[in-house]
Amino acid sequence: MFKSISNGMNGAMGQFQMMQRLMADENFKAFISHPKVQEVFRDPEFKEVAKFQDFGKIAANPKFTALMGDPELAALMAKIDPRKFMQG
């Protein structure tokens, strides 16, 4: 029981650390602050899907799909190196 609690805390800490690294990255900040991204994040329907962190449902959301197809946003995303955020 204590091991699962500890693993959960370690997982939460890892996610927190990853978010800190993301928020410090200039490329991620440029992407996340883009007006088109902000518009989707403010959408009540998208918020509802995103709060469960079900990435399959997020990816299937039409507004998110449209974002991913936007060449300007794709160029911003290409600058983000996910390996930097997965490090321990």
Instruction: Give per-residue pLDDT as tens, 38-79.
Output: 999 899 988 888 888 788 888 888 988 898 899 999 999 899
Indicate the average pLDDT of the chain: 81
DSSP 8-state code for residue 15: H
For residue 85 the two structure tokens come to: 């955020």
| pTM of the predicted structure, to 2 decimals | 0.66
Question: What pLDDT does residue 5 have?
Answer: 42
Three-state SS string over 35-84 comes to HHHHHHHHCHHHHHHHCCCCHHHHHHCHHHHHHHCCHHHHHHHHCCCCHH
